[in-house]
Amino acid sequence: MKRLAVLTSGGDAPGMNAALRAVVRTALDAGAEVYAIYEGYQGMIDGGSRIRPIHWTDVGGILHKGGTIIGTARCDDFLTHEGRLKAVRNLLANQIDALVVIGGDGSLTGADMLRREWEPLRSELVVRGELSPETADRHPYLSIAGLVGSIDNDMYGTDTTIGANSALHRITAAVDAISSTAASHHRAFVVEVMGRNCGYLALMSGLATGADFVLIPESPPDVDDWEGKMCEILSTGLQVGRRDSIVIVAEGAIDRHGNPISCEQVRRALTERMGEDTRITVLGHVQRGGAPSAADRIMSTLVGAAAALAAINAGPDSEPVLIGVHNNRITALPLMACVRKNQEINEAIRSLDFKKAMEMRGPSYQAIFNILRTLVRAAPHPPKPGQKQIRFAILNAGAPAPGMNATVRAAVRLAVDRGHIPLGVRHGFRGLIEGQIEELNWMSVNGWAPTGGSELGTNRRKPTGSDFYAIARNLEDHKVDAILMVGGWSGYEGMLSLWKERKSYPAFNTPMLCVPASIDNNLPGAEFSIGSDTALNVIMEAVDKIKQSAVASNRSFIIEVMGRYCGYLALMSALATGAERVYLNEEGVTLNDLVRDIDLLVTGFRHGKRLGLMIRNECANELYTAPFLAALFEQEGKDLFDVRVSVLGHMQQGGDPTPLDRVMAARMAGEAIQFIERECDVSRGDEAAAACLGLVAEQATLTPFYDIARLFDFEHNRPKQQWWMELRPIAQMLAQPDPHFNKQNGRS
């Protein structure tokens, strides 16, 4: 039987516990024995009780906790030969020869060194008489899988690192709060965020909060007098009506000669050159702390599960792997190649090769940087002579989704900057029918980035009958060249109906684009829709609280979440909260399932379980409703536990958008404007393009309207193939009761 150990090392990061839970449970489920090494490499060197078995239930109830429950440390002894010799002796004394290391590039380099030195150190221990040759022979090699725990998102080979998204949540909340006080007092704020070599946090939080200037290590301002450039942008902003100025500075920000840029320098420039009342806020360790976000919990869970299997299944010749995510899929790359590439990026920054540094960060990083550069402008570029000016209608339709405003704001500004004229349509298709259409300019969307709901107004109305005539007339009256709809499925249906009426109404033969914005995440051609990450976090936070109340009183909860016929929110919130059961319409619910669920609950509570948590998609089953399930479980649970239903309701559609939703909003808006420019260029008379925009494997993808029928299940209003259903087995495996307990009690 394989014996695997897991440790967390270096700086702590929210999500490490989710990764730990997944490593432990996946390895146990695969039949391995699992040990935890407490306090990182220091614990490996100390041995004794710092290396001990860790069980299924030891990692229960930790998903929501920040930091790492097995402790982390920096350890200088590990850098010495003697230290590593002790480490190997302790691993072998516990018969451990597979290791999952969760840490930054320092910790991962340490792991690789341990693997390379395994053989000589083993022999040395035998020669010294500290290890029997038989034990040495039984463990000829050390298998390693690495996970990157770092809030800075500073690792080559994975799109996100454990903790980065949570840190972004902390920063975004702080900057939103600072913005409101700054605007009240006409103040300027300089906010320092973490990131010694990587501007990820500064860049993304700048984009998410609508900051006015951002300084990152990989791409310093391209002039010597960066203070002058910054002050010019901020002054123009104040002239056109902004009440606050926010500058976000990455810890490692530099000028183009490599000299560090400090917050104090920025403050001095704003005070002396602009006469601004300027304050500095250094966010510091707040960014590291707190509960992990939904994205961090889910991502950490998935990479944790993959790392456990990679370490268990590695052979003598397997290279250590770094388990990460790329394009929304789990990847395994050679660990040391990634560490080396990472060092190459740091070296590029040190040697002022910013082009290379940006290139190595990847295309989406660059794309986001370019979008930010436009959005932070105080005012648009003046129109170029002879440039084609496109008039496009922009509307929200369907149920409200957090991030709709951020999308409209970004689309309007990006378009205005390129000389186009966005026409805002109020109240969805109703406004298009009634002619509630007005020109939007740069400042009409000011302050929209962080707000929930829809400033334009949205509803589920779909055009029918004489509406088409009214819409056609309004489109003609306003000389609309293209239509951009940001919304949910009823918005898509509305757009499809216009498209189908093209033969009768030539005004509809304009480029049309649907941008996915729906908490349900059920739209064609998109793996994620704007708003779904916010809803997921809202659900997760509510469930965290409900869990606490349940533990206090031996209770089971059935929590009903939105999504109509799409189980995305239900499954993902179950993954993020560790719910033991999730009911999805995609799978259906049978009486046999319920009998099994009752049996699990009753047995669990009989053996000391204190809380039951079940998440039900609102349309999981027409007859087995939440009250029905509650009554059934309560009756069968007798005195062991009671059952409550919690229907989360419309809070799921509310709230300020999360950083992920805001960043996606900006990316989608950038793609949408490119689509409109491209398609309006095509000569008229041809059929104009009509498509749905979405991220598929992180790539912006267009799905033509005529392809929707092939991809979409119109009966249940959801895509026929849903990528996230692949996560069902992992969710199920991790949430099962301790399989060893089951075996001991004669259950399968």
Could you give the residue numbers annotated as active site? 152
Please state the closest distance from residue 20 (CB atom) to ligand ADP, in A: 16
Give the whole-angstrom CA distance, residue 229 versus residue 232: 5
711 binds ligand ADP (CB under 6 A): no
Nearer to ligand ADP, 114 or 263 (CB): 114
251 binds ligand ADP (CB under 6 A): no
Give the whole-angstrom CA distance, residue 609 versus residue 588: 27
Q: Which stretch binds ligand ADP (CB under 6 A): 70-78, 171-179, 188-196, 584-592?
A: 70-78
What residues numbered 109-168 form the site for ligand ADP, per CB under 6 A? Answer: 109-110, 113, 150
Question: Cβ-closest residue to ligand ADP?
Answer: 106
Q: Which stretch binds ligand ADP (CB under 6 A): 74-82, 196-204, 390-398, 411-419?
A: 74-82
78 binds ligand ADP (CB under 6 A): yes
Please state the closest distance from residue 146 (CB atom) to ligand ADP, in A: 10
Give the whole-angstrom CA distance, residue 648 versus residue 570: 12
Contact of 210 with 449, CB cutoff 8 Å = yes
User: Which is it for strands 3-8 and 98-103: parallel, antiparallel or unpaired?
Assistant: parallel
Please state the closest distance from residue 450 (CB atom) to ligand ADP, in A: 31
577 binds ligand ADP (CB under 6 A): no
Q: For 521-548, give one letter per residue: b (16+ CB within 10 A) or e.
A: bbbbbbbbbbbbbbbbbbbbbbbeebbe
Query: In Å, how far are 47, 340, 357, 400 from 347, measured between CA atoms?
Result: 36, 10, 9, 46
The CA-CA-CA angle for residues 644, 598, 635, to 5°, reads 55
Nearer to ligand ADP, 16 or 666 (CB): 16
Give the whole-angstrom CA distance, residue 694 versus residue 700: 6
Please state the closest distance from residue 151 (CB atom) to ligand ADP, in A: 10
Size of the chain, expressed as the number of residues it contains: 748
Name the residue among 300, 249, 265 with its Cα closest to residue 100: 300
Torsion of CA 677, 683, 689, 695, to 10 degrees: -30
41 binds ligand ADP (CB under 6 A): yes
How many chain residues touch ligand ADP (CB under 6 A)? 17
Nearer to ligand ADP, 110 or 655 (CB): 110
Tokens 């239900």 -> residue:
570
74 binds ligand ADP (CB under 6 A): yes
212 binds ligand ADP (CB under 6 A): no
Give the whole-angstrom CA distance, residue 396 versus residue 404: 7
Nearer to ligand ADP, 349 or 538 (CB): 349
Nearer to ligand ADP, 72 or 396 (CB): 72
Give the whole-angstrom CA distance, residue 352 versus residue 124: 44
Q: Does residue 562 come out as left (phi exceeding 0), alpha (psi in the -120 to 50 range) or beta?
A: beta
Q: Which of 75, 291, 312, 485 binds ligand ADP (CB under 6 A)?
A: 75
Nearer to ligand ADP, 10 or 491 (CB): 10
Query: In Å, how far are 435, 499, 511, 568 from 503, measured between CA atoms?
Result: 22, 9, 15, 37
Q: Which of 10, 206, 452, 604 binds ligand ADP (CB under 6 A)?
A: 10
Query: In Å, how far are 199, 247, 477, 708 from 496, measured between CA atoms?
Result: 41, 43, 22, 10
Please state the closest distance from residue 101 (CB atom) to ligand ADP, in A: 9
Please state the closest distance from residue 205 (CB atom) to ligand ADP, in A: 21
Contacts with ligand ADP, 85-114, as mask; x by CB under 6 A:
------------------xxxxx-xx--x-
Q: Which of 31, 53, 57, 79 binds ligand ADP (CB under 6 A)?
A: 79
Helix (H) or strand (E) holding 50: none
Q: What are phi and psi of 13, to 5 degrees?
A: -150, 140
Please state the closest distance from residue 559 (CB atom) to ligand ADP, in A: 36
Please state the closest distance from residue 10 (CB atom) to ligand ADP, in A: 2
Instruction: Name the site residues for ligand ADP (rule: CB under 6 A).
Output: 9-11, 41, 74-75, 78-79, 103-107, 109-110, 113, 150
